[in-house]
Amino acid sequence: MSDCCANSHKGKNNYDLAVIGAGSAGFSAAITAAEQGANVALIGHGTIGGTCVNVGCVPSKTMIRAAEALHSARIAGRFPGLAGEAHVTDWRALIGAKDDLVGTLRQKKYIDLLPEYNGVAYLEGAARLNGRGVVVNGAAIAADKIVVATGSLQGVPDIPGMAGVPYLTSTTALELANRPRSLMVLGGGYIGCELAQMFARVGTKVTLVTRSRLLPEAEPEISDALARYLEDDGISILTGLSYQAMKAVENGVELSIDREGRPELLTAQHVLVATGRRPNSAGLGLEEARVKLSPNGGIVVDERMRTSKPGVYAAGDVTGRDQFVYMAAYGAKLAALNALNGDSLAYDNRAMPWVVFTDPQVAGVGLSEAQAKAQGFATKTSVVPLDQVPRALAARDVRGLIKLVADADTDRLLGAQILAPEGADSIQTAVLAIKHGMTAKALGETVFPYLTTVEGLKLAAQSFGKDVAKLSCCAG
């Protein structure tokens, strides 16, 4: 047991609940159970805090903000009478500040929390399921119920020669002692797009390559617009291709691709793999315990977070679905409550927001137009470019658009996606609208504050029935 996290359970080996994994999901389950009065074993292996604080959300978003600061200074000239310039003066100091932030949050939001919950015993070590509970470092502990919350790992594409290439991941790319001269990013999902733009803005020559289009789960209008904006940042984007082979060369890495039957050769100093993450389910004894796994290695759970083995629950990225830290914490809370109180709570992701921290930001909730049609809805859509939103005009930055999807029969909102510099902070209004079954008409009649990005949602809702370009300020 770690000295920093020791508490009154030291030496005991019988618990109401064992939680495997000490990231955001594991802590959510453990704290929830402790608040229910349960005795909890929280089992961590490796750095406490999991993916988000250590190698995911926190380090990447602070670096993205730093790159945005550079960009904002450089484009000051969009306002008449202004001029600006900025550049990186000390890359290692920037990386060091990122590491300091990570260490501070890890300490405050994880390590320092454990003594606050007397019902939680923190155990460090590799864990496996056995017949009565869990084995940690070869020692068995008994637990009435178990929650598995071991997160995910970087996925690696099956490219011939990949094993011999010293590729970067989203973790190691942010640990480089020197800023890379050139970078090839594999993958056009949210991690690939975010990090490609961040590195481009700090002065790295970036090529982004992906088999499909950027953000394939986003609306096509948003994907296409974001591609244009990333190209404006100097990023070379290659889509609709297949990977043929990769190898290390004298000055970096070489990738052979095929685009529409034509072979091409790409080179860069470094290659960053951002092709998705896979559930961290290996080595837990799940198959021996008869816990069913999906083809991608995720633990199969029902709407109550139950696995196929009675008494064993799972939550977060290890389930292979909704891989967002807040959904992991939400699912783990439900798992703990159900494990202790009789399986009464159901997981609900119908109003789940998601955000991509590019600039402009991409945010969404609910169904896309294609998803709504696939589910049998008769749909109607509204697309409003940001040049119709007064906030964007005042900021002299009209990059982006807002798209709403509604049920053509009932007018009920089904989905919303925003591409805007402040889109991440605007999507929650659409979350509440969809959660509470609002119609497009009701959203369009709601009072919004003027000169805000979120006002664009009102304009998008109004545009189902009128041309918002013909409205005066605040009209309607």
Task: List binding-site positions for FAD.
Answer: 61, 150-152, 317
State which amino acid sits at residue 337: L
Helices then strands (H, E): number in the chain? 12, 21
Q: Which of 181, 19, 189 is nearest to 114 (CA)?
A: 19
**Sequence-separated contacts (24+) of 2-5 with Cβ below 8 Å:** 2/48, 2/122, 2/124, 4/111, 4/114, 5/48, 5/111, 5/114, 5/115, 5/122
Question: What length does the chain have?
Answer: 476
- Burial level of 37, CB count in 10 A (0-12/13-18/19+)? exposed
- The tokens describing 243, both together, are 């990977």
Q: Are 7 and 111 in contact (CB under 8 A)?
A: no
Q: What is the CB-side half-sphere exposure of residue 301 using CA atoms within 13 A? A: 29
R_g (Cα) of the chain, nearest Å: 24
Phi, psi of 184 (to 5 degrees): -105, 120
Question: Which residue carries 């591609």 as its tokens?
Answer: 227
Residues whose CB falls within 8 Å of the CB of residue 301, separated by 6 or more in sequence, listed in order: 307, 313, 314, 315, 319
Q: Are 63 and 71 in contact (CB under 8 A)?
A: no
User: What's the N-to-C CA distance of the chain in angstroms?
Assistant: 62
- The tokens describing 285, both together, are 């004894």
- The tokens describing 230, both together, are 């990333």
State which amino acid sits at residue 217: E
- Report d(CA 4, CA 7) in Å as an integer: 9
**Binding-site residues for NAD(+):** 187-194, 276
Phi, psi of 7 (to 5 degrees): -150, -160
Residues whose CB falls within 8 Å of the CB of residue 412, separated by 6 or more in sequence, listed in order: 406, 437, 438, 439, 440
**Binding-site residues:** 61, 150-152, 187-194, 276, 317
Q: Are 28 and 333 in contact (CB under 8 A)?
A: yes
Q: Are 283 and 113 in contact (CB under 8 A)?
A: no
- Report d(CA 298, CA 91) in Å as an integer: 38
- Report d(CA 302, CA 308) in Å as an integer: 9
- Report d(CA 193, CA 196) in Å as an integer: 5
